[in-house]
């Protein structure tokens, strides 16, 4: 059973960089076709996709956050990380890490899908001085 666990500071000062790490257990972060993502949820609000990374290091970000987001991966530690720069109070949210499901085609092999089959429990990050 795959498990994901977010970790990082719960309080970040305005203008600083938010840094979170997601540790994957019960499965390989380097398996073909699995992409790893960050999603956030503002207090009492809906979900917002931030971006994803493949174990090769390939990334794709939400254009609305792209200028401030960096997602990286450390396969040896089975971790992937999120950095969000120049934070403001508007970045206060619960941050989730999650895995995109994958599908298999006999001709093309594994490829990722566009649904999240496993999620971390989430971690609240508050931006405040």
Partner 1 sequence: QSALTQPASVSGSPGQSITISCTGTSSDVGSYNYVSWYQQHPGKAPKLMIYEVSNRPSGVSNRFSGSKSGNAASLTISGLQAEDEADYYCSSYTSSTTLVFGGGTKLTVL
Cβ-in-10-Å burial (0-12, 13-18, 19+) of 84 comes to buried
3-state helix, strand, coil in the chain (%, to 5): 0, 55, 40
Determine if 5 is a binding residue for partner 1 (CB under 8 A). no
- Which residue number, 15 or 121, has a Cβ lying nearer to partner 1? 121
- Which residue number, 2 or 75, has a Cβ lying nearer to partner 1? 2
Pairs from 25-28 (Cβ < 8 Å, separation ≥ 24): 25/78, 26/1, 26/2, 27/2, 28/78
Q: How far is the CB of 76 from partner 1 (least distance, A)?
A: 26
The answer to whether 126 and 92 are in contact (CB under 8 A) is yes
Determine if 47 is a binding residue for partner 1 (CB under 8 A). yes
Determine if 96 is a binding residue for partner 1 (CB under 8 A). yes
Determine if 114 is a binding residue for partner 1 (CB under 8 A). yes
Determine if 117 is a binding residue for partner 1 (CB under 8 A). yes
**Under the rule (CB under 8 A), what is the footprint of partner 1?**
45-49, 60, 62-64, 96, 101, 113-117, 119-122
């Amino acid at each position: 059973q795959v498990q994901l666990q977010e970790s990082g500071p719960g309080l970040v000062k305005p203008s600083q960089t938010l840094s979170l790490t997601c540790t994957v257990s019960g499965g390989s972060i380097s398996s073909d076709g699995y992409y790893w993502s960050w999603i956030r949820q503002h207090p009492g609000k809906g979900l917002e996709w931030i971006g994803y990374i493949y174990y090769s290091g390939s990334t794709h970000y939400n254009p609305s956050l792209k200028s401030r987001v960096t997602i990286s991966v450390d396969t040896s530690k089975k971790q992937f990380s999120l950095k969000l720069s120049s934070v403001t109070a508007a970045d206060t949210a619960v941050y989730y890490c999650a895995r995109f499901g994958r599908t298999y085609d006999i001709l093309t092999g594994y490829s990722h899908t566009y649904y999240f089959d496993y999620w971390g429990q989430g971690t609240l990050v508050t931006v405040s001085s």
